[in-house]
Amino acid sequence: MSSVRLPVRVGRIEAPALVAVWVREWTVFKYFWRTRTFAAIVEPVITLLAFGFGFGKLVSSIDGIPYIQFVGTGAVATAVLFSAVFSSMFDALYKRRYQRVYDAMLAAPVDVDEIVTGESLFIGVRAGVYGVAPLLVAFLFGLQPEPAMVLVPLIGALTGVGFAALGMWFATTVTTFDGFSYVISGVITPLFLVAGTFFPLNRMPQWLQSLAQLNPLYHCVELVRHCAFGLDPLADLVHVGALCGFAALAWWLAVWRTRVRLVV
C-alpha cells in the first residue's frame, strides 16, 4: 500500500512542493482557461481600443509616439495588473474561506510559503502571457516589432508575480468578497490610473510624479515602452529593481498574513 515518496526537507522552499502547487493551479486552469483568458485579454484590448480611438481623435501623439501605440504599450501593464491581482485575491479568499483547499494542501508536506510562492509564480507567468495581447493589437495599429519586445512577457511575469502576491495579501485582509470593494476602489484603481498608461506622468504635478515612483505599475509601463521605443539601460535597471523589490515585499506580506490566517 505504501508508495515511494520523494524526500521532504524542513525550513526551506522545496522544488517538489512548488511543482505540486503549480500542477494544481495548472489542473484548475485547464477547466477554466476559456473564461479566464477571455476576461484577461478582452478587457484590456477593449480599453485599448476605446482609449485609442476615443482620445486618439483628440491626442494624435505623445512625445512623438502615436497615441494608440502609447496606450497599447501601457495597456500591457493594465492586462498584467488585472489578470494577476484579481485572480489571486478572489481565488485566495475562495480557497481559504469557502473551499478550504489551503487546509487540504497544508495537511500535505507543503508549507504556506510554498503555496504563496507557487501560486504567485503561476499567476505571474500567466499574467505575463496575457500581457502580450494589447501589444499584438498595437501591432495592428502600426507599432513596429523591436527585438527588445521579447522581454515584454518577462517584464509582465515579474510584475505579475508581485501583483499576484499582493492580491494574496489583500485576500488575507478581508473575510468576504464584498470586502474587496475597499481594495479595488482604494488601491487598485489609483494604481491603474497613476501609472502613465493613458497619459504621460511628466505633465502631472511634481508630487504626483514622485508618488508614481512608488507605483509598481508605473515601472512596468516604463519598461514596456522602453522595449518598444528604445531601451534606457540605467533607468531600466532601476525599474527592474523596483519591480523586484515590490515582488519581494508583496511576497513577504502575503506569506506572513496567509500564515496568520491558516495556522492558528
Residues at the interface with other proteins (CB under 8 A)? 1-10, 16-17, 19-21, 23-24, 27-28, 31-32, 99-101, 103-111, 262-264
CA distance 77 to 131: 7
Shortest spacing between CB 84 and other proteins, in angstroms = 21
Question: Shortest distance, CB of residue 6 to other proteins, whole angstroms?
Answer: 4
By beta-carbon proximity to other proteins, the closer residue of 92 and 143 is 92
| Residue with smaller CB distance to other proteins, 3 or 206 | 3
User: 99 or 185: whose CB is closer to other proteins?
Assistant: 99
Nearest distance from residue 11's CB to other proteins, in Å? 8
Select 102 or 199, whichever has its Cβ closest to other proteins.
102
Between CA 236 and CA 221 the distance in angstroms is 11
Which residue is listed with cell 501609472? 195
**Least spacing, CB of residue 115 vs other proteins, in Å:** 10
Closest CA to 148 of 219, 228, 52, 70: 228
Tell me the C-alpha to C-alpha distance, in Å, between residue 184 and each of 77, 128, 244: 16, 21, 23
Task: For the beta carbon of residue 87, count every other beta carbon within 10 angstroms.
Answer: 24
Residue 158: strand, helix, or coil: helix
